[in-house]
Structure 1
Amino acid sequence: MKPEDLLTLVRMPMPYGKYAGRLIADLPGPYLAWFAREGFPDGELGRLLALMHEIDHNGLGELLTPLRRR
C-alpha cells in the first residue's frame, strides 16, 4: 500500500457493475466481501478494492474521514 492509495479510495468511482459511479470508499461491505470470495479484478482496481475490503472488514473506515474533507 502507498499512502496516496487512501486518497484514491475517496476519489475514485467504481467503473462498472451494480455500484458503478459510487466511490470505492462508499462501497458496501457485502459487495467488497463478495470480491474477496470470488476474486478481485486485476490491476489497480483490484488492489484498491482489496485495500478497501481490509479497511471495512477491520472497522477502520474512519481513517478515510479526514481525507474526504480535502
Structure 2
Amino acid sequence: MLQDKEYLIRLAHTKMPFGKYKDYYLIDLPEHYVVWYQNKGFPKGKLGDMLQLVYELKLNGLEDLIRNIKKQYPK
C-alpha cells in the first residue's frame, strides 16, 4: 500500500517531458490528448504507465484525487 501511495505522489508531480504539452503535469493534460494516446498507444515504460493511469482517472472523473495529492505532498 505504501508503494501505491508513493506512486500516486510521483504521478502527481510528473510533467510531460516532450511535445505540445511539455512541462504540463500529466494530470493537467487535456482529456482529448490523453484519449489520443489511448487510441494511438501509450509510450513504453513508466511514462506510458502513468499516462494510462491518467486516462483511467480522467475517464472516471478522479483527476481531483491527484491534484489534492499534489497539494498535500508538495515536492
TM-score, normalization: structure 2? 0.83
Identical residues among aligned pairs (%): 37
Match of 1:30 in 2: 32
Which residue is 1:7 aligned to?
Answer: 9
Deviation at 1:63, TM superposition (A): 1.2
Question: 5+ residue gaps in structure 2?
Answer: none
**Secondary structure of 2:18's match?**
coil
Q: TM-score, normalised by structure 1?
A: 0.89
- Larger Rg belongs to: 2
The DSSP-based 3-state class of the residue aligned with 1:42 is: coil
> Which amino acid in structure 2 is aligned with residue 22 of structure 1?
Y
Aligned length: 70
Q: What is the alpha-carbon distance in structure 2 between the residues aligned to residue 22 and residue 53 of structure 1?
A: 15
2-structure distance, mates of 1:40, 1:57: 16
